[in-house]
Structures are given as structure tokens and as C-alpha cells.
Amino acid sequence: QLHFLFGCGSNQHNQLLLDSPENSACLVGGEDARELKEMVLCTDARSSATNRPKKLLAGGGHSGLLTDSGELLLWGWNGTSQLGRSQSDRPDELCAGLPVTKPVK
């Protein structure tokens, strides 16, 4: 099942799931210019009926998704292990192009 989200911001640490430097904020007239972008969030079809997205959380540099079953998916900047994993760990893949850490139960 696909869930469409809209977000804006710098995406400097891929907190908008855009995973591309050209999708970061730029300066226009000395001010940050941020464009509204559409993001696609994929969930496993086998669990989407019982494990739907419940709440989207956004912070400075990272974001999270809380599901109906209580799973917490985190992505974005992990400079001080705020995603709950080692800085040297490679992120897991929730869906192609959407790096996240494993769910916290």
C-alpha cells in the first residue's frame, strides 16, 4: 500500500526521504527557499491492513513514522546515533530509495 506525504525543508540529511542533493534548500535573495515535495512511503502489503501509518514525526535533521502496531521507523541524520543505531551501520531499506533503521518495538 502506498501512502503519499508532503514535506518541505532542507533535506540536508535526507529527512524528507528525497535522497538527492538537488532536493535540498537553496538560497534565493539571501533567504532559504524550500519547495514542497511529494514523498511516497511504502508499507509491506502483507501488514498494511493492520500496521498502517499512525503519526509522522519530523525533527531537525531526522524524521520518524509511528505505525498502528507501535513500530517506529526512523530516518535522516544519525550523527550522534539519534536514530538508535551505530553511526557506522548502514541503513536498512523500507522500500527502494527510502533508507530507515529497523523498527523499535
- pLDDT value of residue 90: 59
Q: For residue 85, what pLDDT band results from cuts at 50, 70 and 90?
A: confident
Q: What amino acid is encoded at 56 in this protein?
A: L
524528507: which residue's cell? 16
CA nearest neighbour of 60 among 97, 26, 9 = 9
74 versus 51: which is more confidently predicted?
Answer: 74
pLDDT tens, residue by residue, 9-22: 666 776 666 655 45
From residue 28, alpha-carbon distances to 11, 32, 36, 61 in Å are 17, 6, 15, 21
Residue 95 DSSP code: E
Domain ranges of the chain: 2-100
Mean residue pLDDT of the chain comes to 64
pLDDT tens, residue by residue, 90-103: 555 443 334 445 55
